């Protein structure tokens, strides 16, 4: 899919001026509260008409103020999933799903109800009313209802925001399946880096109504400068890795990745599976010599490709490992003590226990996150 946006729109004192293109399977709109994420989603969905500009999806013009085109929202074929599921309380789950189906023109219906029910694991809920469902189950039904309308695009506006961590973890695999198995592009609003790292292929960072950056999630998640202070600890590299072998006795898995082999603990995935792994910048230690006699199992040789020290207590070190960049966050004092300089040979040290389940996710076979894990020349 390709989504192309170039619009300006004023709401009271706030002005959104956004221009970006995305061809991702799941494009995250990320930014602090009030940065314009929902306004942008409403403009894409046709709930708002922009003062200036154009939006097109897969070459189909949804709005273009220059030529006077404005496709009304019910003709855009866009599925919406909101923070609250907004199911009809007087209907059963099955009736809610059928309601979604009603909006797909018969000739354009893709995917059977049975397939959607299976994809989202909601078969056992069909006769129940929304009042008896958990928050996560409601959201799965809301996704099913949106999906059954055979949309060309799905807009998800903070769909996990009202769920606790356990429910979030429960629903994430279904959003991954939606992303990997249906082929329907998703625009996903979030202000959680953990969510974006797990789900997004692409990312648009909004700040005060402007696009601060747009690109692949793998590239932008390493840009710690783009992240708000409270989320900076969550930033870091995201790679797809293959499970090479498992050591049942120790509960360990060995993964092959673009940065080298990685040992992780407690990964519930079979040999040969592709998993998406996040290496948070704050979980990396930097050593100028190969460490010996330490417990950390992952020691990745590399070179310093960028060094951001500034005046605060932290230093952001980008390490090029095997042609792939990894962001590390250490103290400025450590950077000074070690005498870190651009091009210096170093080792990135990562403890295996930092790869908990929150930092690993399954991906569909052949899913292609590493469009973003670009190869960068060594800076020396
Ligand atoms: N109808 C309106 N009239 C005036 N200002 C508005 C209107 N709707 C939104 N705004 C303002 O526009 C700005 C962007 O709002 P928007 O809801 O798009 O932000 P957001 O990034 O989605 O925020 P959040 O993460 O809190 O949901 C905010 O400052 C908001 O107060």
Which of 8, 9, 35, 231 should be mutated for ligand 1, with most atoms under 8 A from CB?
Answer: 35
Could you identify the atom of ligand 1 that is nearest to the CA of residue 191?
25
pLDDT number for residue 368: 33
Ligand 1 surroundings by CB, under 6 angstroms:
11-12, 14, 31, 33-39, 191
Summarize pLDDT for 267-325 with one digit per residue, the tens.
878 899 888 888 899 999 999 999 988 888 899 999 999 998 777 888 999 999 999 99
Could you identify the atom of ligand 1 that is nearest to the CA of residue 35?
21
Question: Of 144, 189, 165, whose CA–CA distance to 43 is shortest?
Answer: 189
Please tell me the distance from the alpha carbon of residue 53 to that of residue 136, in angstroms, as a whole number: 37
Instruction: Determine how β-strand 3-11 pairs with β-strand 60-64.
Output: unpaired
**Residue whose CA is closest, atom 18 of ligand 1?**
36
Please tell me the distance from the alpha carbon of residue 148 to that of residue 206, in angstroms, as a whole number: 30
Question: What is the phi/psi pair of residue 334, to 5°?
Answer: -65, -40
Residue owning tokens 């996040």: 278
**Residue whose CA is closest, atom 26 of ligand 1?**
33
Please tell me the distance from the alpha carbon of residue 169 to that of residue 229, in angstroms, as a whole number: 24
What are the residue ranges in the chain where pLDDT is below 50? 364-380
pLDDT number for residue 167: 83
Q: Ligand 1 centre from 38 Cα, in Å?
A: 7
Q: Ligand 1 centre from 34 Cα, in Å?
A: 5
Q: What is the pTM of this model?
A: 0.82
Q: Ligand 1 centre from 131 Cα, in Å?
A: 30
pLDDT number for residue 165: 83
Residue owning tokens 């109504």: 209
pLDDT number for residue 361: 66
Q: Ligand 1 centre from 349 Cα, in Å?
A: 42
Please tell me the distance from the alpha carbon of residue 164 to that of residue 187, in angstroms, as a whole number: 22
Q: Ligand 1 centre from 210 Cα, in Å?
A: 13
**Residue whose CA is closest, atom 25 of ligand 1?**
33
Question: Of 224, 253, 223, 219, whose CA–CA distance to 239 is shortest?
Answer: 219
CATH architecture of the domain with residue range 237-371:
Beta Barrel (2.40)
pLDDT number for residue 351: 81
Please tell me the distance from the alpha carbon of residue 149 to that of residue 143, in angstroms, as a whole number: 10
Please tell me the distance from the alpha carbon of residue 312 to that of residue 302, in angstroms, as a whole number: 25
Q: Ligand 1 centre from 291 Cα, in Å?
A: 50
Q: Say if residue 207 is exposed, middle or buried (CB neighbours under 10 Å; 0-12, 13-18, 19+).
A: middle
Joined together, the tokens standing for residue 53 give: 């500009």
Which of 34, 83, 160 should be mutated for ligand 1, with most atoms under 8 A from CB?
Answer: 34
Q: Ligand 1 centre from 5 Cα, in Å?
A: 18
Q: Where do you find CATH 3.40.50.300 in the chain?
A: 3-220
Q: Which residues pair with 118 in a beta bridge?
A: none
Q: Ligand 1 centre from 60 Cα, in Å?
A: 27
Q: Ligand 1 centre from 44 Cα, in Å?
A: 15
Q: Where do you find CATH 2.40.50.100 in the chain?
A: 237-371
pLDDT number for residue 2: 87
Question: Of 339, 214, 365, 352, whose CA–CA distance to 296 is shortest?
Answer: 352
Joined together, the tokens standing for residue 314 give: 């932290």
Which of 29, 32, 36, 205 should be mutated for ligand 1, with most atoms under 8 A from CB?
Answer: 36
CATH of 3-220, one of 3.40.50.300, 3.40.50.2030, 3.30.470.20, 3.30.70.3270: 3.40.50.300
């Amino acid at each position: 899919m390709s989504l192309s946006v170039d619009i300006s729109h004023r709401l009271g004192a706030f002005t959104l001026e956004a221009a970006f293109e995305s061809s991702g399977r799941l494009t995250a709109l990320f930014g602090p509260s009030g940065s314009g994420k929902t306004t942008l989603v409403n403009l894409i969905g046709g709930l708002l008409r922009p003062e200036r500009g154009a939006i097109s999806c897969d070459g189909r013009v949804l709005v273009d103020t220059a030529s006077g085109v404005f496709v009304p929202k019910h003709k855009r074929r866009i599925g919406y999933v909101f923070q609250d599921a907004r199911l009809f309380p007087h209907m059963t789950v099955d009736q809610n799903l059928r309601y979604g189906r009603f909006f797909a023109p018969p000739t354009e219906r893709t995917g059977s109800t049975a397939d959607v029910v299976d994809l989202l694991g909601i078969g056992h809920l069909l006769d129940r009313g929304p009042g008896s469902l958990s928050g996560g189950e409601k959201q799965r039904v809301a996704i099913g209802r949106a999906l059954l309308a055979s949309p060309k695009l799905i807009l998800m506006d903070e769909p996990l925001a009202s769920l606790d961590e356990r429910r979030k973890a429960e629903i994430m695999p279904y959003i991954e399946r939606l992303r990997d198995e249906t082929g329907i592009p998703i625009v996903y609003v979030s202000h959680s880096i953990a969510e974006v790292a797990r789900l997004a292929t692409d990312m648009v960072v909004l700040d005060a109504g402007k696009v601060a950056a747009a690109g692949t999630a793998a590239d932008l998640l390493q840009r710690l400068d783009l992240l708000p202070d409270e989320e900076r600890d969550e930033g870091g590299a995201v790679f797809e890795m293959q499970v090479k072998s498992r050591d049942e006795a120790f509960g360990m898995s060995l993964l092959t990745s673009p940065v080298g082999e990685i040992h992780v603990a407690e990964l519930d995935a079979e040999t040969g599976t592709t998993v998406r792994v996040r290496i948070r910048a704050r979980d990396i230690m930097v050593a100028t010599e190969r460490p010996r006699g330490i417990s950390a199992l992952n020691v990745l040789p590399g070179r310093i490709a960028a060094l951001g020290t500034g005046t605060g207590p932290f230093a952001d070190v980008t390490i090029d490992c095997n042609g792939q960049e990894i962001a590390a966050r250490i103290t400025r004092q450590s950077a000074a003590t070690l005498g870190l300089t651009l091009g210096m040979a170093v080792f990135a040290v990562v403890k295996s226990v930092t790869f908990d389940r929150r930092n690993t996710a399954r991906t569909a076979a052949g899913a292609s996150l590493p469009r973003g894990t670009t190869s960068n020349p060594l800076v020396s």
